Structure 1
């Protein structure tokens, strides 16, 4: 007996029949000649016969195939040897009806033989139409079409098989009286959808099965079908509608499906020759109108230096990329320098997003260039004058370069909107200057995946190319078109030509076909029919044809791509699937990591036109190819590959590390998104950080992960100035908190929001709840933050000692935690605490220390926040010009950073100094700016300040009634929001502009009452200063002296040059007003006049000069 035959039968589980084969001298060479009759004569029962025939067919197929066998390549992973893939298929269930009647007329063996003949014909119909028999169930079969080799024709093939099956059984029944008399018939159910295709066994024993919801739906349709009928679902009808005729039936309820299933009866299968459809093509063909449009735009651009944006829009695969490639060729032929960026939905590494890719191309930075190369390119750009010096900080960000310490401080101080605004100007500026020597063409593809920041960059580019020799090309799918009316409005009417691509014309499609096969070939008509004018569909179909495959011509892009993928060698197929996990763009080193090899070169994928080279890496030939290949993987396979990709990116790209962990549904994904968001936050990329935080929340299920992400989201929203949303997020986190520590973090975040919202008491209450938790768990850094925030909340309330104690404790804990940022903040806080108490010298020392520490370590935001306060203390120390200079420095930084809160404070410092310096135009201007900031921030507490200084500007110009109205409004707001921060100085000013004694005294009396209750220091200083001026005008000299004494008492602990001047001035004028003409009095008035000129107290000169004039003393 042939050992090979024995081994072969043993592999099939049929070793007991080896003796029969030995007796008949049947060897491997004779196997292909065996048929059903031969095996039956050997006495082999139906079931084993079926297995043997199927195995023989497999042997024949293997001999015909030029592809290598897939049985035991040790280099392949287990999932490749026993793959299991997701594929779109059509499932067929067929069952014989009327078989029971046979058993009444025939014995068991005769019944068996007749039913076997019917089953054989059913199987033949399946196999003749490229189907695969999966199982035998009683008197029926289950088969699938479109697997194991994918086929876009699977629905048509299934319908054809079902139709032929009915005809074959009908003919069979007519031939055999017993069958004809029993009325034997079959019923068939068809349903199309995705299944998991299972590979059972290996080598000669390989079989296929399918699982998933599609399978039971097809079975249910078969059960519902009438004998002799073929029922199909709407999904199958839609896929095969050009080749079938159907009749609608009553909808069917199917277990597990909420809505009734639409059912149709197959009436006829139409031959391919009868079927007609639209047409299609491949090398570049057609699009003549579009080419002419672009040619005109190109001529105008080159002749007149007037640029424009061209927006090419169309369905996936319609030819957007191919058309823009032709546009690029036209531009290049006319001398344009072309640069390209691609927007990807996933798989974007550092420096590879569309805008950064454009920038690198413009600066001649090659793909994968290291930091040194990028530094050299950045320096060259600055040296060549492509950007202004103050744009260096934005260029560094876009090139992923570290900021120098002084630039980092500036960048730190900026708010996010300012950073984005600066970055959005970089590419347009460079393009504009480069285009002066050579026209430029920019191409940005697939903007339907663009985020808000990328769209903002593109809007800026669209505006900027108008007046230079630059053309901007963009492509997008129709679905998800992001250029809505709001975006178009943001381009301020800049020229934008939209080209909507439709299907190719039939003649154009035939031109495309000629590049692959003879257009008279019958296959060409089939391709035209299926492609329906979509160039990508047609190209892929034609490539199938050119590769010699006439079977399974695709009808959907997914099946088309998978059909081509299935013809790859196993290792190439696995590489393609692994690449799809990385993303549309991928690098060879990452792919090799996923494949556990070091030398895979993608050559086969390039030859099959599934991918193309892109710089030093690769790009899927079409986004849909990547999507289709990825969809074929089982979740387990995806998870394994995503996890390996995550491991790779953990060393280089935290965002992609997190994305791949999310793709693997790994529990570590939320934490990875959190880490990636914090990394972006450190680079001041708040929108990107917020996006990553939201991605983390989308995949987070554990409460602890959601809490940490929500806390960061609240912080980001706060930094972006969206205080209401920030408060909402913190409240959500509080409601979902599991323990005291989580509640504590939520309380602190809420308190920070309450400070900006000027709900100070509520903020303090929240911190009182949080502090015991922080202390209990020894959370030193959180305690430093809490105490600093507490001090900031006490500041506007005028809680002097509480403010000082909080900031001193914050400093101690910041140093214990070794946090330079919170140490600097605490020093600034101690300055605030001293300021509240009127200890301006002490405050100045603290502010100096804060600013120096911040500058040394690049803490730009901390430095900027305290510069205005440093300016205030300089003013009170007698340096009015120095105070104003510091305020302008802070104002400039705040405007660059977009920090309106700091800007508001700096405007106030300018107003203080401008009042004494008698610069009233400056005073009015900056008072209005301060009011605008307060309104923009919604800060009612600060609104009276701007009104006060606006009123002072009006009063100095003699417009007392207008000034009085503003001050009455300011006083009303101050009473409403809390009097400690503003009421004292506002009421002092109101007394100064009052037009009668009663109103003046009422304002002074109310102001004194405010001060007795306790207030922020500037209220004492300015109330007594304004009050003395009001009383000097009324010649109430004793009250002037009383106010001078009160101001002296308030500043006794740390006398101030500013307050000393006003104290001396009040007393000298009071003495003169009461009749003193003593030499000492006159000398004091002269000294005060000279000091006012010298130090800048020009607003005080009129009263002094009038007194000296009355005394007969000249200037």
Structure 2
């Protein structure tokens, strides 16, 4: 059986209910240190209890040090939260295959949303596996009943004790005092806690208090003064407490033997710790302190936690009404963020922002809250927090940073107008101050926004400017972002060789800084641009490195992209059989995360594979589905690519002509660069297959013209192939040139292009 309880105040860092359950499953005792936890986790992994991919997440749950090379730090906050829950649920399932598992979690009314989500995941698994959950909660604040599906849980309400039940309970305690027992039963009115406290109080005197709080106060008053003071100090700490801390608060060694004997406190799960037998007893002891004394004890508790737990230090200063509480919350939020607990950091920053503090502290809290909300993907909350920071800014640099924060928040939702307005306000300030780091960030955001608007020229200019400012500032992170932006702009202009070098420079800088997460998309793009340089092996290695890392850190979007990129490179090279698995995996994930942009291209590439396999009907169906999706989300990204493929698989000449005509119109309207390469290549093949050799040469000329600024092995080969096959189709085949072309195609890995050359050679030899 695995037990955990939720407390509303005073729990030590890392002792939350989810972590307690994970530690119990792995076999880590509450008092075990880091090394013991690490050894227990290693055994669990070796024994198959913990999946390899879940190891970093379970290490975080059980308090074990991360292994060397762990990618836990590279996970984004949302991935870590989701991953911890999935890891706990999978751990429970694996344990249940060995023997049934029972989980008991008490006081659910105090649970944070992450705890409820974890228990919901366990409840889901309990439908199919021998797992039982027993949860306790007050009726008021019950976070489960009425929310979880009716079939998932059975609610057992504990009604008041009947008179007979109460008398039986009372007489078992006070057999010698039946009159007192009856009076206690009458006063308690079926409340078992009130009854037990009355019985213990009633055994010590004639007067019966009228409320539970009064009962607790009466029982505290009967303790020796030193014991009462210790219990009051313990109440300041929380439901659970360390006697050593209480001794620090009272200034003398604290003994709790009398309190234990009177059932006011009892040993806790962790060795050496004690806990109140009920939260209401702790509340009564806490309420018995004068406000001035309570504040003083909280300040002393804050001093105890100064070097131990920044969050508890801040909470105690808060309850002491200390003017330094807001600053302490800021420090605690930053510490939590460094520990990769962004959700906890956001709660701390928001609480700090609610307190009275100097404007500089309130500004820092609001700005940090905005950063945290952005990292967690909550753009509206991020923008609102940065707006508050702007109102609190005391100088130009602070105002500039607030405007940049507002712009970055709006960029998340592609709200170009509001984002540009904020950056318009920030840029003159940064220019006047000579703030190169801020100017780098402003230009980077502008470049991304121009990319969304489709203005590749402006996109390139802003990213080049960002790169110059980043290098002037000596900021590696800004430089990596700018290099990525420059690479995107070059890619959008069809300058694939230059884009490849820029993506490689970005990844190299990310690797040097250990910024794995930011490197993933750029590593994929090394693979894509490498394909236009006909570096097939290099491309696949880069994409596979990104795929492994994306899976390790739970970066779902990057994982979708790696599958699609691998499939695209393999289909382009004519390795259709090898392309199917990564594309099917990418499509499944894309549908799971509702990414229609990725799904549309996956479907189109799978249509190519079906066509190669001789299933024209399936190819047309997949491409029709892809095209429908493109029309829903916008055709600029991949519309002409899909239309080029549709031209190749068209059932008749009219369908071919219609697809080509529509695709060319979209290219003229400003589609993304990759459309020019893929559409023209497929239009060439569709025209050759239809015997329209003039059209094939026209598309070859258009492709050559588009790539003229930066010729590529890919375009040079396909242009030469189109012209050679068009001539052969007219009966003017140059066998020597065709053989040289075939040799070049094989050298470049253009496997899909070789059969057409072979057919032309065969015709020429007849």
TM-score, structure 1 normalization = 0.61
Residue aligning to 2:244: 589
- Aligned pair partner of 1:651 in 290, 300, 307: 307
Is contact 1:642–1:660 with CA below 8 Å preserved after alignment?
A: yes
Say which SS state the counterpart of residue 14 (structure 2) adopts.
coil
* Deviates most, 502-511 or 450-459: 502-511
Residue aligning to 2:160: 503
For residue 1095 of structure 1, report the CA deviation from its aligned partner.
4.8
Residue aligning to 1:452: 113
For residue 862 of structure 1, report the CA deviation from its aligned partner.
1.2
**Structure 2 residues not aligned, in runs of 5+:** none
Pairing of 1:467-866 with structure 2 (within 5 A): 471-488=132-149, 493=151, 496-514=153-171, 516-546=173-203, 548-551=204-207, 553-595=208-250, 597=251, 599-614=253-268, 615-699=271-355, 708-723=364-379, 726=382, 741=397, 744-760=400-416, 763-777=419-433, 779-797=435-453, 799-800=455-456, 802-811=458-467, 813-814=469-470, 819-855=475-511, 857-866=513-522
Is contact 1:405–1:857 with CA below 8 Å preserved after alignment?
A: no
- Say yes or no: does 1:356 pair with 2:19: yes
Residue aligning to 1:210: none
* Deviates most, 525-534 or 503-512: 503-512
For residue 864 of structure 1, report the CA deviation from its aligned partner.
2.0
Q: RMSD of aligned C-alpha atoms?
A: 4.0
Is contact 1:796–1:1016 with CA below 8 Å preserved after alignment?
A: no
Please identify the structure whose Cα radius of gyration is greater. Answer: 1
Say which SS state the counterpart of residue 652 (structure 1) adopts.
coil
For residue 759 of structure 1, report the CA deviation from its aligned partner.
4.4
Say which SS state the counterpart of residue 122 (structure 2) adopts.
helix
Q: Deviations over 1:351-378 (max 9, x none)?
A: 3212222333444434343323332333
How far apart in 2 are the matches of 1:426 and 1:928? 25
Say which SS state the counterpart of residue 643 (structure 1) adopts.
helix
Change (3 A) 1:367 1:953: closer
Change (3 A) 1:464 1:652: same
How far apart in 2 are the matches of 1:578 and 1:511? 36
Q: Deviations over 1:468-504 (max 9, x none)?
A: 7765432221222222344346xxx55x454322233
How far apart in 2 are the matches of 1:865 and 1:665? 48
How far apart in 1 are the matches of 2:146 and 2:607? 43
Is contact 2:23–2:61 with CA below 8 Å preserved after alignment?
A: no
Is contact 2:534–2:749 with CA below 8 Å preserved after alignment?
A: no
Q: Deviations over 1:406-440 (max 9, x none)?
A: 213xx244344543343234445555666677765
For residue 393 of structure 1, report the CA deviation from its aligned partner.
0.3
Is contact 2:607–2:620 with CA below 8 Å preserved after alignment?
A: no
Residue aligning to 1:221: none
Higher relative contact order (CA 8 A, sep 6+): 1
How far apart in 1 are the matches of 2:213 and 2:7? 20
Q: Deviations over 1:702-729 (max 9, x none)?
A: 6665554454444444444444555565
Change (3 A) 1:938 1:364: closer
Residue aligning to 1:1057: 713
How far apart in 2 are the matches of 1:1068 and 1:845? 32
Is contact 1:868–1:886 with CA below 8 Å preserved after alignment?
A: yes
Change (3 A) 1:1109 1:435: closer
How far apart in 1 are the matches of 2:644 and 2:76? 36
Say which SS state the counterpart of residue 54 (structure 2) adopts.
helix
- Aligned pair partner of 2:58 in 374, 379, 395: 395
Change (3 A) 1:1102 1:721: farther
Is contact 2:644–2:660 with CA below 8 Å preserved after alignment?
A: no
Pairing of 1:322-471 with structure 2 (within 5 A): 338-408=1-71, 411-428=72-89, 430=91, 441-464=102-125, 471=132
Q: Deviations over 1:742-790 (max 9, x none)?
A: 5544543443344443445654454333222334445554444333333
For residue 619 of structure 1, report the CA deviation from its aligned partner.
0.8
Pairing of 1:59-138 with structure 2 (within 5 A): none
What is the count of residue pairs matched by the alignment? 758
TM-score, structure 2 normalization = 0.85
Residue aligning to 1:269: none
How far apart in 1 are the matches of 2:345 and 2:239? 23
**Structure 1 residues not aligned, in runs of 5+:** 1-337
Change (3 A) 1:423 1:944: closer
Change (3 A) 1:439 1:857: same
How far apart in 2 are the matches of 1:938 and 1:754? 21
How far apart in 1 are the matches of 2:656 and 2:144? 65
For residue 555 of structure 1, report the CA deviation from its aligned partner.
1.5
Whichever structure has more helix as a proportion of its residues is: 2
Is contact 2:604–2:623 with CA below 8 Å preserved after alignment?
A: no
Change (3 A) 1:508 1:970: closer
- Say yes or no: does 1:1009 pair with 2:668: yes
Is contact 2:656–2:686 with CA below 8 Å preserved after alignment?
A: no
Is contact 2:601–2:626 with CA below 8 Å preserved after alignment?
A: no
Change (3 A) 1:424 1:518: same
For residue 557 of structure 1, report the CA deviation from its aligned partner.
0.9
Is contact 1:413–1:894 with CA below 8 Å preserved after alignment?
A: no
How far apart in 2 are the matches of 1:740 and 1:466? 58
- Say yes or no: does 1:1086 pair with 2:739: yes
How far apart in 1 are the matches of 2:605 and 2:391? 44
Is contact 1:406–1:858 with CA below 8 Å preserved after alignment?
A: no
For residue 398 of structure 1, report the CA deviation from its aligned partner.
0.6
Is contact 2:362–2:392 with CA below 8 Å preserved after alignment?
A: no
- Say yes or no: does 1:1066 pair with 2:719: no
Change (3 A) 1:837 1:620: same
For residue 644 of structure 1, report the CA deviation from its aligned partner.
2.4
Pairing of 1:869-880 with structure 2 (within 5 A): 869-880=525-536
Say which SS state the counterpart of residue 218 (structure 2) adopts.
helix
Change (3 A) 1:659 1:529: same
Is contact 2:106–2:135 with CA below 8 Å preserved after alignment?
A: yes
How far apart in 1 are the matches of 2:690 and 2:529? 31
Change (3 A) 1:566 1:930: same
